[in-house]
Structure 1
Amino acid sequence: MLKEAKAHVTRVRALDQLHRGDEIEARLSVGPSYDDVVIRRGRVQETAPGIGVVWIMDHHTGSRKAINTDECSVWRIA
């Protein structure tokens, strides 16, 4: 029987660590006793580290979405 490989997830602290095509999640903290909630998941299209924004192609909607790092945390999926 084959086991499903678990994705390795690491927090991205600086947007200059990201490259076009990287798979990421944007997570929103909902409270001190809860885990972060994934609000977006997709592939990096473009980054603007100076203003704290990364654009992804969202897997759920299939459209381009902007993620503001002042509002949520960014995690790389490998």
Structure 2
Amino acid sequence: MALWLWCLLFILESLYCWWIIGYGGAKWIEGWKSFFLIDWFALDWNAEQIRFYVLLIWLASVIWFLLGVIKPELRGS
């Protein structure tokens, strides 16, 4: 995968996470919408649990992004 595409995908994911964590997105997707925007196991979660889950996923994504920048073969084909 090209570096510009790798960066673009990370930016888009970060914007999504930023909206959920800091700008009320977790409150908006609470309930049945979380099935489509998070996963099936988030159906019963409240906004704080959704925010925490997205924060953990985003931190893992940051690590994967940095590894992909350093080692291009980790980006996939």
TM-score norm. by structure 1 comes to 0.29
Higher gyration radius (CA): 2
More strand by share: 1
TM-score norm. by structure 2 comes to 0.29
More helix by share: 2
